[in-house]
Amino acid sequence: MTADTTSSEPGARTLFDHDPTALAELLASWKEPAFRGRQVLEWAYRHGVTSYDEMTNLPKGLRAKLAADAPLYESTIVRQQEASDRTVKLLLGWPDGTRSECVLIPDGTRRTACISTQVGCPVGCVFCASGLDGLQRQLTSGQIVEQAMRVRGLCGEDDRLSNVVFMGLGEPLANYEATVRAVRTINEAWGVGIGARKITVSTVGLPKQMRMLADEGLQITLALSLHAPTDELRRQIIPWAERVEIESLVEAANYFFQRTGREVTLEYILLGGLNDAPEHARQLASVSKRMRSNVNVLLYNPVEGLPYRRPTDANAERFVAIVAERGVNSHVRRSRGLDIDAACGQLRRREARLRGEA
């Protein structure tokens, strides 16, 4: 396993790739006054316009230049699905023909955007649709931010976007630089404006990058996709686990807590008959207690063509109870959007099959 921590930035950079300094430099090169940058960012993020034509206090000539040199939205919404529980999934098409997914998850007063960092995924977890066709390319930081903005556009004035999770297609820490840039833009007051503690980055477990993230000075949540409590079982589920032992993940998670004061969330997807036995629950509790962590148990969303099954609700509750009895904060995370290709990568893969590409 070799983790690619660089992000390719194909084509023209969009506005969402620019922080205030980069935008100021671009505008200065056109002899524009400094306040124009503040105006542009305010229109894009605070007002959420989708076209430079809507930035009515900018000269038409400047709008045309920006549209050419720093496009605003470059994705198109290929398909939109809404579930009975009001979860909304978007399939986005990019100019190079690739496609990615993002999701709006409403829960009470919370509105969460689940966004992708790669087109496809290199990890190849055996139960997941995201990596069935491998990795096509990295998403740029601007394309990652654009997904959050697309999802924010689905929210109303009274139910604004409150949380962002990097849990869509791809391994965020294998696109490290673009992911961190996107996190900063999503967090900044001039950007999407989501509090750091309401941003979660999920990883299958890259110890070096977990430590790097700990040193970024960000108060975000780190979620570790463990999915098995022993190295032997984890290697059956996650190919990349062949060269990353749980012990090294424990050490990296403890470093993250020491540097940030933030507990790590252990994500554990229950696969019926594979990793959901009482013994697995006891082993998971033992791993969790070796670090400052809590446990998030998920029930598997079946993927067409894969042999894995969803455990019963009773088995899931028993599993969580065993973990909790051993003093670990744990709960079942409710599955959302089961009637709309809910699992990561399902909608993208279904669309590709319709186009004859998979």
**How many angstroms separate the CA atoms of 282 and 266, rounded?**
14
Is 221:200 a contact under the CB 8 Å cutoff? yes
Strands 163-166 and 199-203: parallel
Residue 351 known to be catalytic: no
**Which pair of tokens denotes residue 215?**
């040193």
Active-site residue, from 32, 74, 101, 267: 101
Active-site residue, from 125, 146, 344, 351: 344
Q: Which residue is it, tokens 């849990």? A: 167
**Which pair of tokens denotes residue 303?**
């993927």
**How many angstroms separate the CA atoms of 63 and 51, rounded?**
9
Contacts of 155 by beta carbon, 8 Å cutoff, 6+ apart: 104, 111, 161
Return left, alpha or beta for 261; rule: phi > 0 is left, psi -120 to 50 is alpha, else beta.
left
Strands 99-107 and 110-114: antiparallel
Residue 344 known to be catalytic: yes
Q: Work out the burial of residue 69: count CB atoms within 10 Å of its CB; fewer than 13 is exposed, 13-18 middle, 19 or more buried.
A: middle
Q: Which residues are catalytic?
A: 101, 344
